[in-house]
Structure 1
């Protein structure tokens, strides 16, 4: 399927450049065999550029979550927190245990999931599967507004949904959107109606391949260049997520009850100009989701 969605010849040319190499981390999950088939057998990537692509039932006693914490080996190899690491690969990526989520890295650079989906939409014409046009895009409520900025500039419908892929599924089924994503490292499109980590990774390789097709050796357009140019064009959005682990349900309920009481007070604070108790009415089935 991937060969029908992308220009593998163009991507293969990028991967053959002497100034471009990658590191893909399968995290011992099911993405590994697919990564081997695509990167090794189809695109000619050397085996040493793939890590943890053998499937293990216990994920090698690791936590197969593609983020800066649990993909620490990849993050270190890419020099994300070490700008002095000059031998870092040009491109890095990881997929989680069931291959539906992804993390994108550049040389000494981390791409937030919110920026990643927005950049895919901004550059969708470089991706054969999306090049004829997209119907719209969607993001989950906790995801930054980077995608909103792109859709506004391109005149595309933008849907903000509650957390949960089922809301994207309704929009994809109705052809209201072509691309969707969430800050928890999930990205997807209508090709499978689900999150697809490897698809997102290849989207980035396709964008890089197209942007570098006429660039001489030594003048490579890097992931960092793409993201910073995106910020210049659409602005840079910041967001913060707090995870409370091991919290008793009754305590969590009390926290949100207190937040609801003081919600209006937050609008006068210096930290922001609005506060929202998110509510969503599904435009497809009319269902209503409250208290997000």
Structure 2
């Protein structure tokens, strides 16, 4: 833990924006260096120009690979392009426009020449492809749309990121991103020789670049997914903190459009994110699930503070607004797992327009409290590997009413039971918290307490363990037979999983279960560690025992 975790950033913590952007254009990556290769994780390619892992070369190659992929798949409609407020995002957007226009692709960019949240891009793709029509959403055929979002999500200000959203509006699957990454690396090795580009000043004036009003399209449709009239009528007082991200103008518009008592916190974007409090490791990170990154909002809501009692609810979002953070006067920042359980219980009890067959999507590293809630509701539980891409199909065909990740990312259906977004949507989860306050008269944290009383208390945490690159590779490809242990923290092992029970996809690691606990281990894609997720329904001490036992089980399995 850094000594200044949770404290406001100081001048020495801030990035040199000019240097960062200059290196984006100047550095040529060496693809022989694994750090400088194009690598798509669960949410696209991320890196920084400071070490040559996110440069103009990378972005041009990825955009060109997307062009080839679209042609191979017969995707000939417009591409919806969004970006967040990170310093590298606007330069990267310019690069993408140069490549796409030269390739003859119609590009739809923000009409305000500003940032665009990920959920707004997904929403516009789906509307274009027929989400609001009785025929249902098209995912193939002439004129169909897809998208690119330029964002490193909650990553530090030094970072850039780019991800591809397919014709289903959601994050592209591993087969697609794997192909794009391989082709992009080939193009980089070739020195981008085959890539045509049009200088941005000419490209942006081309007839292929269409100004699209992402914000109005999204905000005007919000009452189809959230009971905003209930929030307005109840007078729920909301403080919405964008953490300097793409949500800033959207929250102001939402408040005005629906007459909400809503105050936007940190309304001015700042590429240095100088108003942020430092995360646990001393870095600036726009992680709305971190109590350290959310320290200012926690202080705003804390009993005894200057603003105590001023708001009924405070909410946060990350850089591209696909994640949510919920702060209540009686409970502080909610654990993301706790709010996911609350959201699921509330929605499936109150959305009468949803199909009785719609299930609940969760990642296998999310709390087992969700399993208990699903069983109590009598709803199917679809447990998947980590990655929101695994929920896109279910949300699209409405076989899932809700899909959510332990990292505070989720989406759910419209009130009438049709698809809303197939990527994570921080706005609707934040607004759902306000709807819960409005309709139940209690905070989401109080709602969670009732679930705990009904289903039992659990203790959940994620920790990291050191691992070499070779050990991480072994863990990623582990077989269930490699686990020889029969007990875990004093309980018999009931399951050894290397594939997800919900869809049979590879976990890329291991999950071990007992009657009252579980752990999952996954290698990090960027650091020499593996992540241990664990939960106990016994006690905090038992959780520590599970974590210790998890290290021993993994060490034995990969040794």
TM-score by length of 1: 0.79
What is the CA–CA distance in structure 2 between the aligned matches of 1:256 and 1:126, rounded to whole Å? Answer: 38
Query: Deviations 1:126-156 (Å, cap 9, x if unpaired)?
Result: 76xx332350111111110121111111111
Matches within 5 A, 1:247-286: 249-250=469-470, 252-253=472-473, 263-265=483-485, 267-270=487-490, 273-274=493-494, 276-280=496-500, 283=503
Deviation (angstroms), 1:169: 1.3
What is the CA–CA distance in structure 2 between the aligned matches of 1:4 and 1:146, rounded to whole Å? Answer: 28
Aligned pair 1:9/2:223, yes or no?
no
- Which of 32, 37, 53 is the equivalent residue of 2:267? 53
Query: Deviations 1:162-207 (Å, cap 9, x if unpaired)?
Result: 0011111132234321101111111112411110000101111111
* Aligned twin of 2:456: 235
Query: Deviations 1:44-101 (Å, cap 9, x if unpaired)?
Result: 325xx3211333334447422112121221122222xxx6559253311100000000
* Aligned twin of 2:387: 164
Aligned pair 1:23/2:245, yes or no?
no
* Aligned twin of 1:291: 509
Unaligned runs of 5+ in 1: 213-220
What is the CA–CA distance in structure 2 between the aligned matches of 1:41 and 1:256, rounded to whole Å? Answer: 47
Secondary structure of the 2:487 match is helix
User: For structure 1, which segment, 55-64 or 111-120, has the greater mean C-alpha deviation from structure 2 after superposition?
Assistant: 55-64
Secondary structure of the 1:178 match is strand
Matches within 5 A, 1:1-292: 1-15=221-235, 21-45=237-261, 49-60=263-274, 62-66=284-288, 67-79=290-302, 87-88=308-309, 89-109=311-331, 110-124=333-347, 130-134=351-355, 135-189=358-412, 190-212=419-441, 221-243=442-464, 249-250=469-470, 252-253=472-473, 263-265=483-485, 267-270=487-490, 273-274=493-494, 276-280=496-500, 283=503, 288-292=506-510
Do 2:360 and 2:402's aligned partners in 1 also have CA atoms closer than 8 Å? yes
Do 1:92 and 1:106's aligned partners in 2 also have CA atoms closer than 8 Å? yes
What is the CA–CA distance in structure 2 between the aligned matches of 1:197 and 1:258, rounded to whole Å? Answer: 34
Query: Deviations 1:225-249 (Å, cap 9, x if unpaired)?
Result: 212112122333322111469x653
What is the CA–CA distance in structure 2 between the aligned matches of 1:73 and 1:271, rounded to whole Å? Answer: 41
Relative to 1, partners in 2 of residues 1:69 and 1:113: Cα closer, same or farther, differing over 3 Å? Answer: same
Deviation (angstroms), 1:40: 4.0
Do 1:30 and 1:97's aligned partners in 2 also have CA atoms closer than 8 Å? yes
What is the CA–CA distance in structure 2 between the aligned matches of 1:147 and 1:281, rounded to whole Å? Answer: 15
Cα-Cα RMSD:
3.1
What is the CA–CA distance in structure 2 between the aligned matches of 1:53 and 1:250, rounded to whole Å? Answer: 45
Aligned length: 270
What is the CA–CA distance in structure 2 between the aligned matches of 1:260 and 1:232, rounded to whole Å? Answer: 35
Do 1:186 and 1:197's aligned partners in 2 also have CA atoms closer than 8 Å? yes
Relative to 1, partners in 2 of residues 1:145 and 1:37: Cα closer, same or farther, differing over 3 Å? Answer: same
| Richer in strand (by share) | 2
* Aligned twin of 2:540: none
TM-score by length of 2: 0.44
Relative to 1, partners in 2 of residues 1:145 and 1:201: Cα closer, same or farther, differing over 3 Å? Answer: same
What is the CA–CA distance in structure 2 between the aligned matches of 1:2 and 1:264, rounded to whole Å? Answer: 51
What is the CA–CA distance in structure 1 between the aligned matches of 2:335 and 2:492, rounded to whole Å? Answer: 21
Deviation (angstroms), 1:259: 11
What is the CA–CA distance in structure 2 between the aligned matches of 1:195 and 1:10, rounded to whole Å? Answer: 24
Do 2:383 and 2:502's aligned partners in 1 also have CA atoms closer than 8 Å? no
Do 2:341 and 2:369's aligned partners in 1 also have CA atoms closer than 8 Å? yes
Secondary structure of the 1:194 match is coil
Computing the radius of gyration over CA atoms, which structure comes out larger, 1 or 2? 2
Relative contact order, CA 8 A, sep 6+: which one is greater? 1
Secondary structure of the 1:239 match is strand
